[in-house]
Amino acid sequence: MPLIIPFRGLRPAPGRAAEVAAPPYDVMNAAEARAMVEGRPWSFLHISRPEVDLAEGIDPYAPEVYAKAAQNLQHQIDQGMLVRDARSAYYVYRLTMGEHQQTGLVAAASVAAYDANRIKKHEFTRPAKEDDRVRQIDALNAQTGPVFLVYPSQAEVDGILLATTQTPAEVDITAADGVRHELWVLDDEALLDRLTTAFDNMDALYVADGHHRSAAASRIAASRAAANPVHSGAEPYSYFLSVIFPHNQMQILDYNRVVRDLNGHSEAELLEKIQAAFSLSPSDSPVKPSRPAEFGMYLGRSWYRLNLKPELIPVDDPVARLDVSLLAANLIQPLLGISDPRRDERIDFVGGIRGLAGLQARVDSGEMQLAFSLFPTGMEDLMAVADAGEVMPPKSTWFEPKLADGLVSHVLDG
């Protein structure tokens, strides 16, 4: 089966995309989701976060939540807000955030390729979140949250996408956060074949974000295949909704750390011990690292610049050489006693979109005692980890801008 295929997208009716499009389901809490749907009856959050239409405090994993999602999806279809395209297409999707712009392809990606690790992963999934996505997709009989994939930039694909964006976009909206979302429908048979062939010739794709959605798609495909006596592998459930961007257009922001206490050390003791592995210098201003193995630290209302000693960088290990690993191995684990950042409640993570002021505020409030700013993980680093069959440490990458939910969905039959 092909690595990717075009499909009949379920999309907002012409002129209605601004009313439907919503942030990804997992970037807000329940209270924020309820606030976001106020006065927006057609927001896709009614489908992706259907608890907004049920009693406050309801378990988001309760059966009635998934049933409400299916009811809300069908309502939008019945009211003509969401319409299924008559013919299969790829969709060109451009995101613009300030000066940054990235252009990718909305496609259905092969579950078989994912299972064979030709679509490569770099994170573990959490069972509860994976189960949630399985129940959501099964209830809707559709994939509504795209998996964010990356392909190694390739001239033919890049050129087709660029040429498509020279024509007027079918959807052109700017979200509340200022990110512009543009969408073009690409249904010319010759171009569809060229894109399908070009992707088939690639060695691999990479999951940037959406590991739970892709894992859920794999489970659903397996269960539906087992129940289908004439399963061929060409069924829509054998593919999952994806948006695929070239690796050299990705924007990964820093993913910073805050720690609740100093593990029994005084500030002076900690500063002294840090210098066994790092050169340390005070800074009059917040420290935004400018290169790998450089870190900012905020302690006692003062900023410091830390540079890891070069001999401590294991250059041949794609996981151990990541900045998040270097900080953990040389400071957070040995000095602060945090060996499992997935479960230790003494550490938390702050996306770079919040800036250094947001990081510093967590310490100044008294909630945390220590903060670290990091240099962003590179896309090539992520690909190297995936190629090695390894797993990134938790909270290694923060991709911006985020994809919108609701612009294109993938129905699993017909």
**Inter-residue contact 367 to 283 (CB < 8 Å):** no
Exposure of 128 in the CB half-sphere (CA atoms within 13 A): 4
Q: What's at 29, amino acid-wise?
A: N
pLDDT tens, residue order, the chain (414 aa) = 899 999 999 999 999 999 999 999 888 888 999 999 999 999 999 999 999 999 999 999 999 999 999 999 999 999 999 999 999 999 999 999 999 999 999 999 999 999 999 999 998 888 889 999 999 999 999 999 999 999 999 999 999 999 999 999 999 999 999 999 999 999 999 999 999 999 999 999 999 999 999 999 999 999 999 999 999 999 999 999 999 999 999 999 999 999 999 999 999 999 999 999 999 999 999 999 999 999 999 999 999 999 999 999 998 999 999 999 999 999 999 999 999 988 899 999 998 888 899 999 999 999 999 999 999 999 999 999 999 999 998 889 889 999 999 999 999 986
Q: Got the DSSP string for 273-326?
A: HHTTTEEEEEESS-----STTEEEEEETTEEEEEEE-GGG--TT-TTTTSHHHH
Please identify, in words, the CATH class of the domain defined by 255-375: alpha beta
- State how far the Cα of 117 lies from the Cα of 111, in Å rounded to an integer: 10
Please report the pLDDT score of residue 16 as a whole number. Answer: 98
Tokens of residue 36, six digits: 């976001």
Burial class for 18, CB neighbours closer than 10 Å (0-12, 13-18, 19+): middle
**Inter-residue contact 45 to 27 (CB < 8 Å):** no
Tokens of residue 88, six digits: 């299969």
Q: Could you tell me the residue ranges of all domains in the chain?
A: 4-251+400-411, 255-375
Burial class for 275, CB neighbours closer than 10 Å (0-12, 13-18, 19+): exposed
Name the 3-class secondary structure at 45.
Answer: helix
- State how far the Cα of 191 lies from the Cα of 7, in Å rounded to an integer: 14
Pairing of strands 239-246, 147-151: parallel
Give Cα separations from 362 to 300, 332, 340, 359 (angstroms). 12, 18, 21, 6
Please report the pLDDT score of residue 414 as a whole number. Answer: 61
